[in-house]
Amino acid sequence: MSAPLIEINHLRKFFNLGGGATLQAVNDITFSIQKGETVGVVGESGCGKSTAGRTIMRLYEPTSGGVTFDGQDIYKLKGAKLKAMRRDMQMIFQDPYASLNPRMTVMDIIGEALDIHKLVGSKKERKHRVEHLLDVVGLNPDHATRYPHEFSGGQRQRIGIARALAVDPRFIIADEPISALDVSIQAQVVNLMQDLQRKMGLTYLFIAHDLSMVKHISDRVAVMYLGKIVELAESSELYASPAHPYTRALLSAIPIPDPEVEANRERIVLTGDLPSPINPPTGCQFHTRCPIATNKCKVDEPALLEVKKGHFAACHYASV
């Protein structure tokens, strides 16, 4: 197997809240992404998915750890090298209503990146490039003179995708790109992203909490809980044989469109609330809600270990 395009090594991102309190948003995560691959990241709200994405992108500076992109440590880059890295790594944001400047036309929203990286030599070339990008994401090129408020949520997210594609990136972090959209529109946006990946050879980190959609788009899936990755495996393997009790609970909540199967299957209901990342539990952080936890889980923190070829889980009692 070739060297990964992205390597995340023991990445941590803590926020100092003052008064001696520290929020441990991302706490020691390690994984890699191959060129052309889609890795999905799932978990409950507040588990650190979006913070991990923004720290990998270097929108947040890390507390510790490193991210290597194509052999370069991105946290050591400065000046022109950092700007070049920004072109290779782009982000699609969660809220298509908040991530587009309401005072700018679509032409300027998409064209801004072209200007910053000096990718066009004239206004005519800029206009042509923006109109081409709108056509690529399924929008009418004539709409380039309109403002964001004149579009629906799905259309705005397509504008966000066009903006990310403007600089010909190699890696895109999609931070819950469909969660703010109607269900009828979600599949259209995901299908568009898959089409673009095939045509352009893109690599994705796809952050979401919709497990069924993540299964559809991802080659591998990482499950996060309270700032840590608790399971990582190929998509089909993870959904067929979840090894961690938290993953099993998440998967049991996905409705199945077969009334007989749905009526007879076991639903795993987690008790208690998600602990605070300001004061996480000792040992395995999931032990306060885990149906199979023992005293060992309260004391010893399990490492993320390979329980089956290519299948990793952080549980003392992992089973596949």
DSSP of 240-299, one letter per residue?
Answer: HS--SHHHHHHHHTS--S-HHHHHHSPP-PPPSPPPPTTSPPSSSTTTTT-TT--HHHHH
pTM of structure: 0.91
Domain that holds residue 250: 242-320
Residue 233's pLDDT is what? 95
pLDDT for residue 308 is more than 60: yes
More confident residue, 73 or 269: 73
Distance separating alpha carbons of residues 24 and 62, to the nearest angstrom = 12
Query: Residue 179 has which token pair?
Result: 């969660």
Is residue 257 situated within a structural domain? yes
Question: Residue 170 falls within a domain, yes or no?
Answer: no
CA atoms of 318 and 320, how far apart (whole Å)? 7
Q: What is the pLDDT of residues 27-41, one digit of tens each?
A: 999 999 999 999 999
- Decide if 284 is inside a domain: yes
Whether 259 is in a domain gets the answer: yes
Question: Quick one: pLDDT at residue 212?
Answer: 81
Query: What is the percent of the chain with per-residue pLDDT over 90, rounded to a whole number?
Result: 68
Flag whether pLDDT at 258 surpasses 60.
no
Is residue 116 domain-resident? Answer: no
Any domain includes 53: no
Is residue 182 a part of any domain in this protein? Answer: no
Evaluate if residue 297 carries a pLDDT over 90. yes
Of 2 and 36, the structure prediction assigns the larger pLDDT to 36
Is residue 310 in some structural domain?
yes
Q: Name the domain count of the chain.
A: 1
pLDDT tens, position by position, 135-161? 999 999 999 999 999 998 889 999 999
